[in-house]
Amino acid sequence: MGLMSSQTSVAINTTSPNVLAGLMEEFVTRPSIVRVYCNGARSLISETVLAGGGVAVDDQDISERNAALVKPDDELYTFGVNPGVGGDRLMLRFRNRNVAAGPDIVRWQVEIQPIA
């Protein structure tokens, strides 16, 4: 099983770059189940997940629990990936819609479990 986990700071009224860029499991090369966990410091933070050419999650609010990730409480979405030749790229971005305060920290984790 592949695992990517970190935290990122998202400035007010901006969208983060792909936080999975350059990581070992950025490209899924075999059929897999993907689980995405995250939480943030405040409300008004949303997440977008792209897999290959499709959208798995589009600008959905994340939990504002602001603590270490807890499974399954912080699981936002689970989906399947059946990659084509060369694999499918995963992209994970966060958008901070807050305009009245400083940057927010988002904790995230992506699990990739091959099924074939």
- Strands 45-51 and 54-61 come out as antiparallel
pLDDT tens-place string over residues 23-42: 999 999 999 999 999 999 88
CA geometry: angle 69, 36, 99, nearest 5 deg? 75
pLDDT at 85: 76
Domain of residue 81, residue span: 2-114
pLDDT tens-place string over residues 54-76: 999 999 999 988 889 999 999 99
* Residues 41, 104: Cα–Cα separation, whole Å: 6
Q: What pTM was estimated for this model as a whole?
A: 0.91
pLDDT tens-place string over residues 98-116: 888 788 999 999 999 999 7
Sign of CA dihedral 4, 32, 24, 26: negative
Q: How many domains does the chain have?
A: 1
